[in-house]
Amino acid sequence: MNFSKLMMTAAVGVMMAFGANDAMAGKADDTLNWSTTREIAVIDPYYNNTRELVVMGHMGWDGLVFRDIDTGEFKPLLASSWEWKGDTAIEVNLRNDVKFHDGSEFDADDVVYTLNHVSNKDNGVLTYRNVSWIKNAEKLGSHKVQINLKKPFPPAFAYLANAVFIMPSGHYDSAPTKADGKKDFAAVAPVGTGPYKVADSKAGEYVLMEKNDAYMSGSPKGAPQIGKMRFRTIAESNTQLAELLTGGLDWIWDVPKDQAERLAENPAVTIENAKTFRISYMAFDVDGDSGTDVFTKKKVRQAVAHAIDRKAIAVNLVGPASEVIHSACHPDQFGCTQDVTKYDHDPAKAKALLAEAGYPNGFEFDIYGYRQREFTEAVIGDLAKVGIKAKLNWLQYRALRDIVRKGETPINHMTWGSYSIPDVSAIVSHFFTHGPDDPAKDAETKGYLDIADSSIDEAVRKENYKKAFERIASEVYWLPMFTYAKYYAYSKDLDFKATPDEIPRFYTAKWK
């Protein structure tokens, strides 16, 4: 057991021994206190694409439509109805009884402004793939718009429900100008229509949201029940656990499996393990841009794939809902298939491939990660058994993302939650269509994805996605690892239900 885990175990043991005397703290002041290890400096779902902002996005903003997590059905949210006009246009009628947090009335101008802003690549939306399919939006009336698509885009409503939030008209016009002369859209104060509104924040420390008492009636999100939601950045997991057990926090997730199992013995805490749309993957420096050329050799990439015991990590560290994957997608997404080239755990084969590649004694390299250190440490341990020595570089997500996009990482061990969109275009088409996160820039893979992403024929989509997945697997551009099964730990006083899309519905939570 490493020192960090030892300290965490000790902290949990001490807190369980003393009990949880202040477990009513959150309920007492009607504030749900939740925490992760990540720092939040930007409170805008378009200019911060961490999971924390995905969660806050659904709390503070609304989209045109809502996806029912139980049925998969799309329901009206800011839209009251819609109709397809051919394959590349959607006519949308809007609600006329909605107000933004600043008191301004919601209407067609807001939708047109938002969609035209975010779909303009020059405006720098971080996950541009989520809106790149939008050509523009037109106003047809005070509460009626038409969304024009660049080409047929079958999963349009999945994106409208999960990743397209509406801002007030003119919202980004007041953005300050940066030293390079460009607008800093991320600096604009947050304003939405959602069930909660941002009341206060301090970059890197906390975000306080308050219940929107004027939230629209009849929303499929329901009426918010808890008065305040306070997000706090707490960098140390053992500190999070200690605060949960003493009442300083009401909700945490990403609890290590062994700690979750021990926490389950505490009567003041609820432990829940739930599947998510998040997957773990390792991306190789296929082109040698990092200055380390070993991973330009296919046999080396294959050796790494055979060296790692992904099943052991999933079973022993992740949780019972986790499963090993072989394709660059989540099994629950439309178009995902696991019928591709597979790399079973086989250290002997890994050693043989290394020898064939010219590395009979292995080699040394830097590996980069940012999430669940124990998972990456397990990978390092498996690689060491076949002679590959990896030095761990541990960074915050945004810092790692930036150097990955510069091509500076020989291997990066990262995760992707697809914005909880149940379609493979949200993952494979983000990473393998020559964008900033594409490790291979492979024309053949992109060709298959271009066809699949634009066809309205489901059979054609599935056929071409399968070809792309096989190409990625056979060339080992990525090593898909496993699906995430997240452990949640929260106060017994909190009525909360985890969902399989990794978007905690805090707006449905209430006190018992």
* pLDDT over 50 (residue 420): yes
Q: Which CATH number fits domain 276-485: 3.10.105.10, 1.10.10.10, 3.40.50.300, 1.10.286.10?
A: 3.10.105.10
> Would you place residue 410 in the very low, low, confident or very high pLDDT band (cuts 50, 70, 90)?
very high
* pLDDT over 60 (residue 2): no
The pLDDT of residue 26 is 85
The pLDDT of residue 456 is 82
What percent of the chain is predicted at pLDDT more than 90? Answer: 88
434: left (phi over 0), alpha (psi -120 to 50) or beta: left
Q: What is the pLDDT of residues 181-207, one digit of tens each?
A: 999 999 999 999 999 999 999 999 999
The pLDDT of residue 105 is 98
Q: What is the pLDDT of residues 217-263, one digit of tens each?
A: 999 999 999 999 999 999 998 999 999 999 999 999 989 888 999 99
* pLDDT over 70 (residue 3): no
Q: Which residues contact 179 (CB under 8 A, 6 or more apart)?
A: none
Q: What is the mean pLDDT of residues 321-339?
A: 96
**512: exposed, middle or buried (C-beta count within 10 Å: 0-12, 13-18, 19+)?**
exposed
How high is the mean pLDDT of the chain? Answer: 93
* pLDDT over 60 (residue 178): yes
The pLDDT of residue 459 is 96
Residue type, 478: W
Q: What is the pLDDT of residues 149-158, one digit of tens each?
A: 999 999 999 9
Going by C-alpha positions, the residue among 508, 498, 507 that lies closest to residue 253 is 498
More confident residue, 256 or 175: 175
Angstrom CA distances, 405 to 285, 327, 393, 412, stand at: 11, 22, 16, 11
The pLDDT of residue 72 is 84
369 touches 376 (CB < 8 A):
yes
What tokens appear for 503 in the block?
A: 């978007």
216 touches 100 (CB < 8 A):
no
Going by C-alpha positions, the residue among 394, 469, 497, 454 that lies closest to residue 133 is 454
Give pTM, 2 decimals: 0.79
How far apart are the C-alpha atoms of 136 and 203, rounded to whole Å?
A: 33
The pLDDT of residue 500 is 87
114 touches 145 (CB < 8 A):
no
Output the DSSP codes for 200-259. EEETTTEEEEEE-TTPPTT-TT----SSEEEEEE---HHHHHHHHHHTS-SEEE---HHH
**Sheet holding 79-84: strands in order across?**
79-84, 89-94, 144-149, 134-141
194 touches 215 (CB < 8 A):
yes
* pLDDT over 70 (residue 4): no
Helical residues (DSSP H) of 75-228, grouped into ranges: 108-118, 156-162
Q: 38-197+210-224 adopts what CATH topology?
A: D-Maltodextrin-Binding Protein; domain 2 (3.40.190)
74 touches 66 (CB < 8 A):
yes
Q: What is the mean pLDDT of residues 308-320?
A: 94
Q: Which helix (H) or strand (E) holds 281?
A: strand 269-284
> Would you place residue 123 in the very low, low, confident or very high pLDDT band (cuts 50, 70, 90)?
very high
Quick check: do 38-197+210-224 and 276-485 share a fold? Answer: no
- Domain borders along the chain are 38-197+210-224, 276-485
Angstrom CA distances, 330 to 67, 79, 156, 277, stand at: 18, 29, 19, 6
Q: What is the mean pLDDT of residues 467-473?
A: 98
Q: What is the pLDDT of residues 9-42, one digit of tens each?
A: 444 454 444 444 444 458 999 999 999 999 999 9
Q: What is the pLDDT of residues 54-109, one digit of tens each?
A: 999 999 999 999 999 888 899 999 999 999 999 899 999 999 999 999 999 999 99
Q: What is the mean pLDDT of residues 439-446?
A: 97
